[in-house]
A and B are shown apart, each in its own frame.
Chain A
């Protein structure tokens, strides 16, 4: 039997770049290569794994500008617009999140990318036009500095505990 928690804990660090990466993972969690392979396939079928493959850092690839665009959308329209915004290939995320009034009136969040700020603004205008949200309150938050970017660590072990500052 495979321990899902252990498997995720190892997988979240990425596969080793060696001939038999799944066998190496199996060794770490006292399992077998076939068990690991079957379990990953099962998680893919169940939809627990959304995609499996190379995770690249967009900033290093010429997508130098990225911004979060946040919208204040009437409840009835959130689903339709969330989907509409999500269909552009420069949009990597489209999520509904809670408002936090009075500081934060926005409930729909998209991450959009471009080669530079102008490109991002052009992309935003395309979204506004295509999804017909002229006049809807929104803000564009460009990211200026990236302090940290890596895969999510959901499960912590002794070695991943907080590092002293």
Chain B
């Protein structure tokens, strides 16, 4: 791993992972000064008994708490203000959030609002700095999470904030809290995790501390995708594996700028033709290949993460990068088969038209990147056609 001449990395998240992890919630909250958390969950958390597992863990430790279940997400601002009123009314001092994706954004927004004492998030959405000392936030994500719950990103009502200080202080990954995801949901979670892990490990902003999170995120996501593609024996805890991968991928992302695959996938998802995860599955290998060819990235070590140390070591050095990219691409091709085509091999497979690519490239560049739309369009074109750039030859 290369050591940059200048780097900075911070991950304020304490991770609790494995059997009975939820039982540690009361102790950990008390250790950071919380005596009365507000436990909130979305509708799926109640339906899948994830909320009950969290509440029981707190009750067993005689923890006093406020509880709001089935938080509606139709009107986020209304839910935010109602939860803030309950938190203040019950004199709570921390938030425990059980849910995924949009709901986790709501939990982060709530924490930001309460920690700053503001009435609305407007000043922060206008670009003010996120304060360093927010109130304690604990998150318990499910297996259909996208990893952003552990990251420093907050998407709320059309605004995006990013800061390491928005990351939760506590993260609990417990088999009782993963829910009951189907294979399609687990593939999506694993593809999100793989993208976060790979782009954090091999991107231009990488550093050895970030790699602590990116490396296992990539390993776990690859392991899960191989199983979901029918390459390995299915273990009982596959849902836990993808949840774990997604959370670590989110930690690796932190509050950093989104990378190429992410930006392109978000732009594709915005067209409504495919999900972000589907787009990432197609795009990742093409982005890596383009970056390797332009000399901006070296993905040799990806072969050891995806294919194992022995395969990496016995492959001649100049073949490692191409072999790693081929590994990812062939995995996606296999998922196309096992998912009955729901996971596309090309952008054409996921329903994009060629004429839409230029607009997608432009839109992706507009979102917080310094990229060239022409380069993005070239990547999209190769991914649409399913035509490698040629680093494989």
Partners in one complex: no
Binding site for B on A (CB under 8 A): none
Binding site for A on B (CB under 8 A): none
